[in-house]
């Protein structure tokens, strides 16, 4: 995991009481893990301001318990019958998690680093 932000970075951006009742160190660790999972390209040694801002937003969400949410899974079943004696059945699990505006903002900030850099051409020798 890469350390894109620190507690001091978030304190500077949001003030000292940003974590309120949450654990600031855990929230920053979760934000760094989230950024590491999302960013696919190499990042310069000096972390760009956009990534730090995204990390601040992610840490704020993590402190509120909204970055990694629990999901509920429903089992749904669907049966279709064309004529008597023939039917097709589908069963699947469905579930979704709503994203907050802060998470969308953080994703937009890191968008240049979330896509692969380009196509690699391989040549057989």
Q: How far apart are the first and last CA of the chain?
A: 37
In a domain, 21, yes or no: yes
The answer to whether residue 124 is domain-embedded is no
Taking only the tens place, the pLDDT of each residue in 63-102 is 988 887 766 556 566 677 777 777 777 666 666 566 777 7
Entry pTM: 0.67
Q: Which domain holds residue 52?
A: 7-72+101-114
The closest of 41, 48, 40, 67 to 4, measured between CA atoms, is 48
Q: Does a structural domain hold residue 89?
A: no
pLDDT given for residue 51 in this prediction: 93
Q: How many independent structural domains does the chain possess?
A: 1
Q: Is residue 81 part of a domain?
A: no
Whether residue 120 lies inside any domain: the answer is no
| Phi, psi for residue 50 in degrees, rounded to 5 | -65, -40
**Domain annotation covers residue 68:** yes
67: helix, strand or coil: coil
Rounded (5°) CA angle 3-64-5 = 15
Distance (Å, whole) CA 13 – CA 34 = 19
- Which is more confident, 22 or 98? 22
Q: Where are the beta strands (DSSP E) in the chain?
A: 74-83, 86-94
Categorize the per-residue pLDDT at 4 as very low, low, confident or very high, splitting at 50, 70 and 90.
Answer: very high
Is the residue at 79 inside a domain?
Answer: no
């Amino acid at each position: 995991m890469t350390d894109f932000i620190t507690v001091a970075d978030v304190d500077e951006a949001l003030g000292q009481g940003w974590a309120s009742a949450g654990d600031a160190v855990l929230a920053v660790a979760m934000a760094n893990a989230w950024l590491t999972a999302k960013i696919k390209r190499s990042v310069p040694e000096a972390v760009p301001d956009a990534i730090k801002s995204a990390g601040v937003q992610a840490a704020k969400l993590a402190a509120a318990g909204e970055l990694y949410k629990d999901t509920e899974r429903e089992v749904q079943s669907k049966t279709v019958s064309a004529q008597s004696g023939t039917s097709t059945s589908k069963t699947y699990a469905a579930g979704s998690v709503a994203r907050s505006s802060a998470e969308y903002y953080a994703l937009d900030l890191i968008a240049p680093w979330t896509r692969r850099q380009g196509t690699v051409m391989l040549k057989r020798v």
